[in-house]
Amino acid sequence: MKNQMMFFKKAWLLVLALLLLGVLSACGAPADESSVPPEEDEPAAGQQEEPSYTTHSTQGVAFQVPADWTQAEGTDLFYATGRPEVYGLNGVSPLGSYEPQEFYKALVEHYEETNQFSDLQTAESMSSWQSADGVDCYVADFTGYQDFILYCSKLIIAPQKNLVLTFCGQANAETLGDTAPVWDQLNELCESLTFEIGTQDEITGNTFLCGDGSQLCLQEGGDFRWYQSAEDHEKPYYEGVYEVRRGQAAMDMVASMTEYGLTMEELERVLAASMNGYIPGESRPIDYLYAMGELEDDRERYQVCLDTFYAVILHNQRLVTSPEEVREGGNSTLYIGFYLPELGMADLTNCNAGSNTQWTFQEKTA
């Protein structure tokens, strides 16, 4: 138990460090009133212009900011035009294998122990919340001061996206009469939040080059052909129909296939461990210890989440040797794993054979 707690402690510190890095590297004090660019000429009396917004895309998420705001160089924070205030995204981290409320509690305890903020006000617990694109999240607000700067921060955790986000509004407390306008602006920005991770099916209708040199062509209509070689389609090939599930639907389907002996609890444990940092290839139990920070590791890791988890079933129906020679019958094979968009590759386990395979995207199937 002691060693296990050491793993958790180190992982907490790693995740919190990533999150706090954004907080501490924010734009700094908002500009003085005198240094803020003057506002544009107001419309004539009786006229009212519709506000114009632009979408800012970064680190797997997107949100809208007024088009006339100025982005602070090297950050995802923006200076509000005509006001000594700063708003935006200032912290991004993977959630890993932790529960949202546990993460939030540890973060608040860290702030309290380090006295990073004066007059720190925090919510007792996180609340359920939904992003603009319908992703279920948890959210909590906290307010604090550093010197004469007000920090209004909104912590948003999206478990199915494996993301922890902190949005902030910063203002000069000496010239601010009420914190409500800062919170109103920050809430408006967060209400536009959408996610760009695991938003579409990356498998259906595509052609892949497999690790053994074979080629898998998945038709949009649900048929497939599996050629022994991408260069030679004249050799005998398999054809049949396939099924693709993604996210929670994939977990549910696999757990229901009792012949494979994979329970929902086991699948959730695999997902939680993978979200600490995923290494493509045949996984080993020791990789979990690397991900928790107990062992040094310089291998490239990738962020995965529930929405990038796939289950693919190939129902082999025919072996085609030639147009005249077709052998009916075949078995079904289940593949489960993650799609890594950075690599354009699905890293999968063949549940029938217990082996690893990688499908690299080639093109949309003609």
Q: Tens of pLDDT along 272-298?
A: 989 988 989 855 555 655 665 666 777
- Residue 289 has a pLDDT of 59
Measuring CA to CA, how many Å separate 218 from each of 202, 238, 307, 309, 359?
A: 11, 12, 20, 18, 12
Q: What is the DSSP letter of 298?
A: -
Question: Angle at CA 59, nearest 5°, toward 55 and 65?
Answer: 25
- Orientation of helix 248-256 relative to helix 264-274, angle to 10°: 140
Q: Give the lowest-confidence range in 1-10, 53-62, 117-126.
A: 1-10
Q: Above 60 in pLDDT, residue 1?
A: no
Residue 28 — pLDDT band, cuts 50, 70, 90?
A: low
At 285 the pLDDT is 52
| Residue 330: other Cβ atoms inside 10 A | 15
Q: What is the pLDDT of residue 276?
A: 87
Spatial contact of 250 and 336, defined as CB atoms under 8 Å apart: yes
Residue 348 has pLDDT above 90, yes or no: yes
Asked if 149 and 173 touch (Cβ cutoff 8 Å), the reply is yes
Task: Say if residue 206's pLDDT is above 90.
Answer: yes
Closest CA to 154 of 174, 132, 182: 182
Q: Are 107 and 125 in contact (CB under 8 A)?
A: no
Name the average pLDDT for the chain: 85
Nearest residue to 125 via CA among 134, 115, 138: 138
Q: Hey, which residues does 120 pair with through a beta bridge?
A: none
- pLDDT > 60? residue 60: yes
Q: What is the pLDDT of residue 11?
A: 38
pLDDT at 147 over 90: no
Residue 97 above 90 pLDDT?
no
The answer to whether the beta carbons of residues 152 and 168 sit under 8 Å apart is yes
Which residues neighbour 269 within 8 Å (Cβ) at sequence distance 6 or greater? none
- Is residue 365 very low, low, confident or very high in pLDDT (cuts 50, 70, 90)? very high
> Lowest-confidence range among 31-45, 80-94, 343-357?
31-45
Q: How far apart are CA 337 and CA 355, in angstroms?
A: 12
Q: Which amino acid is at 168?
A: C
* pLDDT: which is higher, 270 or 177: 270
Confidence bin at 17 (pLDDT 50/70/90): very low
Sign for the pseudo-dihedral over CA of 58, 63, 64, 69: negative
Q: Would the pLDDT of 163 be above 70?
A: yes
131, 41 in Cβ contact below 8 A?
A: no
| Measured distance CA(364)–CA(204) in Å, rounded | 9
| pLDDT at 254 > cutoff 60 | yes
Q: What does pTM read for this prediction?
A: 0.83
- Specify the higher pLDDT residue, 199 or 326: 199
Mean pLDDT of 333-347: 96
On the question of pLDDT at 36 being above 60, the answer is no
* Span of 7-16, 232-241, 262-271, 346-355 with lowest mean pLDDT: 7-16
